[in-house]
């Protein structure tokens, strides 16, 4: 993991942002990195949500790259509360649902969580 962080919201929930290597057969280019945003009740639950989707080796150490206000807004307005986009991103590139990144994984892995 290259960087990540979190922001606690006024209601007590958190938004966790992580920079991860894109999984093979995902929606990103091979060898690429992706920025993943997760909205959850707490940091541990956010990481559990990602692990339940098959992204097993995700950890949050420190708060070196917390989510920006724009990232927080994006994930709060998405029904699943989990988004991604390539790093570095183009200015006109929008966030993608996590299912697009997990393409090619077994059906049970993409539906868990």
Overall number of domains in the chain: 1
On the question of a cis peptide bond just before residue 38, with omega within 30 degrees of 0, the verdict is no
Determine the 3-state secondary structure of 47 from DSSP.
helix
pLDDT at 30 over 70: no
With pLDDT > 70 as the criterion, what percentage of the chain qualifies? 78
Q: What's the pLDDT at 3?
A: 80
> Domain limits at 52?
3-111
pLDDT at 62 over 90: no
Distance, in Å, from the CA atom of 103 to the CA atom of 26, rounded to the nearest integer, reads 5
Q: What's the pLDDT at 2?
A: 57
Angle at 77 between CA 52 and CA 85, to 5 degrees: 60
Residue with tokens 């994006």: 74
């Amino acid at each position: 993991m290259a960087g990540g962080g979190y922001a606690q919201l006024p209601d007590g929930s958190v938004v966790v942002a992580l920079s991860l290597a894109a999984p093979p057969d995902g929606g990103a280019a091979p060898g690429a990195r992706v920025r993943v945003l997760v909205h959850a009740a707490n940091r541990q639950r956010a990481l559990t949500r990602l692990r339940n989707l098959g992204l097993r080796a995700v950890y949050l150490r420190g708060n070196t790259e917390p989510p920006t206000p724009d990232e927080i807004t994006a994930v709060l307005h998405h029904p699943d509360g989990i988004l991604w986009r390539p790093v570095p991103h183009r200015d006109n590139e929008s966030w993608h649902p996590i299912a697009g990144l997990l393409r090619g994984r077994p059906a049970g892995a993409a539906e868990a969580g």
